[in-house]
Amino acid sequence: MVYQADDNRYKTMKYNRTGRSGLLLPAISLGLWHNFGGVDTYENGRAMLRRAFDLGITHFDLANNYGPPAGSAEEMFGQMLKTDFAPYRDEMIISSKAGYYMWPGPYGEWGSRKYLIASLDQSLKRMGLDYVDIFYSHRPDPNTPLEETMGALDTIVRQGKALYVGISSYSAEQTAEAIEIMNRLGTPLVIHQPNYSMFNRWIEDGLQNVLEDNGVGSIAFCPLAQGLLTNKYLNGVPEESRAAKSTGALQENQVTAEVVGKVQKLNAIAAERGQSLAQMALAWVLRGEKVTSALIGASKVSQIEENVKALDNLHFTDEELMLIENILNK
């Protein structure tokens, strides 16, 4: 059956301006880090993308090495673009990244001009696209001059292979320097993609101020802390979870009794707010509008539907914020 997008898809989603740019992003974006690779079920991924778009999620985030195997998430997404989303390309924000290991030899990772441009060319081919909307330097390279990495991003925009560029996981100091270089080149950085959640608040120690002062947006990845901030770990580590199998970034030894205790207390506050823990965690990341978008992952359609409902209540009372702070700081 030919996919036709829901006519009401833009009526409830919240769209935020990315820094001082003209780019609007949905408050909830969908990442294809997991569950969209060659080892995953194609029809499940297709159902999630369709439902996400019907709910007003216009931003889909990929990287060259997403899978597994590496590159297969972009290939799967490219197939879905061709079969389902071709009429809607101009309604979508598609991003990709390069920085981590992708192919053997000295040119297959990090931040050289050679690697970044070659990697994006490969990504475009896998997805069947002429350009991506956002292209990121996925991580800082300690051995390549920042001027070279940023110069490659500038070239990519001038070649028409990306409309906007950003960085991911750069420190506050590295970000400030990158912004200065890109402003000098005439291709400003538009967005930073950091790991940010209730359990990982490093960006509050300087990075958020750098972004705000320079009019750069942010999109938080892992806002649910790899599933810790959901109902999955309320009673410890379930057997079927990635933590139990040690197949993801979250390891079983990270789900300590102390962490579970915090999760249970946070879940009680969420229930008082009429939200699930995941919904409250997403609302917390988006509080105060310092973060442009929260980048979720999903393994089934119902998770996307649940997460989007976080937007129904983004307000926190001072008392709620104080209670959350007390739990997180113990």
| pLDDT at res. 247 | 59
**Beta-strand runs (E) in 140-292:** 162-168, 191-193, 217-221
Helix-strand-coil split of the chain, %, nearest 5 = 45, 15, 40
| pLDDT at res. 1 | 78
Paired residues of 166 in beta bridges? 136, 191
**Beta-strand runs (E) in 52-109:** 59-61, 93-98
Mean pLDDT of the chain, nearest integer: 95
What percent of the chain has a predicted confidence (pLDDT) above 90? 92
| pLDDT at res. 330 | 83
pLDDT tens for 305-316 read: 999 999 999 999
Rounded CA separation 229/245 (Å): 18
Closest to 254 measured CA to CA, from 216, 222, 206, 296: 222
pLDDT band at 46 (very low <50, low <70, confident <90, very high): very high
Statement: residue 265 has pLDDT above 80: yes
pLDDT band at 243 (very low <50, low <70, confident <90, very high): low
Domain boundaries, the chain: 15-226+288-313
Paired residues of 28 in beta bridges? 294
pLDDT tens for 103-140 read: 999 999 999 999 999 999 999 999 999 999 999 999 99
The number of residues in the chain equals 330
| pLDDT at res. 144 | 98
Statement: residue 214 has pLDDT above 60: yes
- Any long-range contacts for 276-280 (C-beta under 8 Å, 24+ apart)? 276/230, 276/231, 276/306, 277/229, 277/230, 277/231, 277/234, 278/224, 278/229, 278/230, 278/231, 278/303, 278/306, 278/307, 278/310, 279/306, 279/307, 279/309, 279/310, 279/312, 279/313, 280/310
Statement: residue 239 has pLDDT above 70: no
Is the domain 15-226+288-313 a CATH 3.20.20.100 member? yes
pLDDT band at 235 (very low <50, low <70, confident <90, very high): confident
Rounded CA separation 175/166 (Å): 10
Statement: residue 228 has pLDDT above 90: yes
| pLDDT at res. 252 | 65
pLDDT tens for 1-11 read: 799 999 999 99
pLDDT tens for 254-264 read: 788 899 999 99
